[in-house]
Structures are given as C-alpha cells and as structure tokens.
Chain A
Amino acid sequence: MKQTGKHYFADKDIQVILGTLLRVGVIASMLVVFIGGLIYLSGYSHEIIDYSVFNPSKTKYSSILAIFQGLSTLDGKAIIQFGTLLLIFTPVTRVVFSIFGFLIERDYLYVLIGLFVLCVILISLSNKLVG
C-alpha cells in the first residue's frame, strides 16, 4: 500500500486538502442556492413563467457585477446566482491549489500547464466572447 518517495506523500497531502476544499465549496454554494430559492419562491411563487423562447435580455443577473448589485437588495434570484457563481469557482480554486502543489514539488512544467488552464478560464470571464 505504501510507497516511499517524497512526491507521493506531497501529492497525497495536497489531494486531501483539495478534497475538503471541494466538499466545503459544494455544500456552501448549495446552501446559498437553497436560501436564495426559498426567498425566490416566497416572492414569486404565483407568477406565471414561460421559458419556451430563449431571450438573453430577460435574465437580469448575467454578469458578476450585476449579481453583486442584486445581492445588496436581497433579491432571491441574485442570491441563487451568487450560489451558482460560488459553485463555478469551486473547481477553479482546485486548479489554483494544484498549481501551488506543483510549485512545492518544483515541477515547473506542470506549474506552467496549470497556469495555462487557469488563463483559459480567465479568458472565458471576458464578456466579449458572448455574441
């Protein structure tokens, strides 16, 4: 079962931290979505909805800035979106942690690969990609 060798142990420690991080991230974001959901239902439950045609302008909270502005008014929809945002960033923090892990191991090739993946995700944050 056991393997001697520094890499394995370093990997293992980082993986345990990562596992905890993911669990906490998922639980926290789901809790936020749940609370937002309750507020949303208490305010809008009898409204009639129609999702049959996709209309980008109908979704109010479609940017990080708009979500934070909505949070200050305690709008249920904004709280749900904030939870979703937390959830999206959970695997992203995992990439960040992995980069530190590779840095500790002095595996610079993988530090670069990790940074590249992170850059791709950061590029996706740009509004310009959305036509």
Chain B
Amino acid sequence: MSVLLFTIIVLAGAFLAGLVGSLTGLGGGVIIIPLLTLVLGVDIHYAIGASIVSVIATSSGSAAAYVKEGITNIRIGMFLEIATTISAVIGAVITVYINPGYIAVIFGCILLFSAAMMVRKKVDHSDNKATGVLANFFKLNGSYPTADGTVKYGVHNVAGGFIMMFVAGIISGLLGIGSGALKVVAMDNIMRLPFKVSTTTSNFMMGVTAAASAIVYLHRGQIDPGIAMPVTLGVLTGATVGSKLLVKTNTDKLKIIFAVVVTFLALQMIYNGLSGKL
C-alpha cells in the first residue's frame, strides 16, 4: 500500500472512530486498534503506539472544556494518578514481552466489557454520608455546583478504588487505550462519586496516565509518525465534531447498535489472537 492511500484510509477511519467514540463515551482508542490490526494488517504494537497518542489528544482537548465548569476534583485525580502512572509505565514496559496474540485476546475481553458497560443503565451511588480515614486524610470529599446550589459528596472505599485504578493503568499501558470503562467502575461503583465528578476527573487523569506510557512507547519506536499522524488528527477531529453533536442527539439507539459492532470486533480480535493471526 502506498503512503498516500494508507494515510487517507486511516484518516477516515480515525475520524469515524473519534466521532462514534465520543458519541457513545467509549473513546477512540478501542475502535482504532481493531481497525488498524484487523482491516489494515498493522502490527498491534504500532497500533497501540498510535492509539495512546490519540488518547492524550482527545482527553486534553475535552478536559479544557470540563475544567472551566469546576467539577473536576483535582485532589482525587492527583491522588489516583499515583496508582495510574506507576501502573501505566509497568504496562507499557511489559507489553513487548507478551505474545501479540495474548494482547489481542486481552484487548477483546476489555472491548466486550466496555460494550456491556456502555449499554448498562448507570446508577448514581453518591451520597454525603460519613467517610473513612483515608478519604479524610487525603481531603478527597468535595462539592460541585448544580442548578439547585452546591452539592456535597463523600468518597468511599478509597483503598478499593486505588487498587482498581492500578488495574486500569496497567490495561491502559498494555493496550494503549484510555480504559475509561475500568475507571468508571473504580469511581462510580467503588468510590461512589457523582457522575459529573467521575466523568471529568477520569478524563483529567487519562491524559497524564497516557503521557507516562506514551514516553515509553516513543523510546521503543512504537510511535511511528506515518501511523500516528493520521490517527491523532482523525480521532481528534472526529471527537470534536462528536462532542458538538452530542448536545443535540439522543444516543441510546446508537449505543445499542454500536455495542453489537464492538462485540463483533471483540470476538474477531479474540479469535485472531487465539489462532495466532495477529
């Protein structure tokens, strides 16, 4: 394939990935990696390197809009970044020692999990009940502005959330994705943060976490300019358009259709991984 053709195909695919990723909340990385590996036959290590760069672009781009609203809990973000940066570097270091087939299988499983999380109805578990020693010591409890005044919230099970974030960081470093679905589990279900706070804080952390593993990838030569350029430009443009559309579109149907597509991609990744095709 010539450079020009490859660039055009990847640019279009990355645009779609960014668009759908932002509309469904799934993120661009989980779509661009199957596209590169399954459709274009790119080695998964290159796909991972390009994807992590697009994660930094989209998370930093949307974080700019979020921080102005003052919902991000910088303390929770910074505290949990201890876990995610260490584990992301570990993940990025060990990824080349693992058989690419296994990486594809792990990727497929995370993809299935993300699809399930996407269609599941979210339940807000947040409350303002008394919190544990750790939450008080690290001053994690916070408040956020709503139309009816400031709402206070307590942070629960800090240790559990921290461990789950460590796992999310490993997966992020290993696969080159933002692993938003795992972060949601840690923040919404374990630490019981309000949605508004967890979404923005998770996004706040994603860029820093991805930067830590991206540097390792860069040194290893996994970030190839010929792939990273169309992927990053495409995903960021798609995500920007998606976030504009998001305000006026009902995404429920889209999510279900997309969950089917993602499930298919996931099974394909797992099958190819097990049969040694990747």
Q: Chain A: residues with CB nearer than 8 A to chain B?
A: 1, 3, 11-12, 15-16, 18-20, 22-23, 25-26, 29-30, 33-34, 36-37, 40-41, 44-59, 61-63, 76-78, 80-81, 84-85, 87-92, 94-95, 98, 101, 107, 109-110, 113-114, 116-117, 120-121, 123-125, 127, 129-131
Q: How far is the CA of A20 from the CA of B60 in the complex (A)?
A: 11
Q: Are B227 and A51 in contact (CB under 8 A)?
A: yes
CB of B133 closer than 8 Å to a CB of A: no
A122, closest chain B residue (CB):
B215
The stretch of B23-31, B40-48, B105-113 in contact with A is B40-48
A12 contact set on B, CB distance < 8 A:
70
Interchain residue pairs A-B with the least CB separation, the first 3: A91-B207, A59-B221, A80-B225
Q: Are A92 and B208 in contact (CB under 8 A)?
A: yes
Q: Chain B: residues with CB nearer than 8 A to chain A?
A: 1-4, 6-7, 40-46, 53, 56-57, 59-61, 63-68, 70, 72, 74-75, 78-79, 81-82, 85-86, 89, 92-93, 96-97, 138-139, 143, 145, 149-150, 207-208, 210-216, 218-230, 232-233, 236
Instruction: Report B181 CB to chain A, min CB distance, Å.
Output: 20
B148, closest chain A residue (CB):
A1
A37, closest chain B residue (CB):
B229
With A88-B218, A117-B78 as known contacts, state yes or no: A47 contacts B2, CB within 8 Å. yes
Q: Are B218 and A56 in contact (CB under 8 A)?
A: no
A47 contact set on B, CB distance < 8 A:
2-3
B58, closest chain A residue (CB):
A26
Residue contacts A-B, CB under 8 angstroms, 25 given: A1-B150, A12-B70, A15-B74, A18-B67, A19-B63, A19-B68, A22-B64, A47-B3, A54-B46, A56-B221, A59-B223, A59-B224, A80-B228, A84-B223, A84-B232, A87-B56, A88-B211, A91-B207, A94-B208, A110-B75, A120-B85, A121-B212, A121-B215, A125-B215, A129-B219
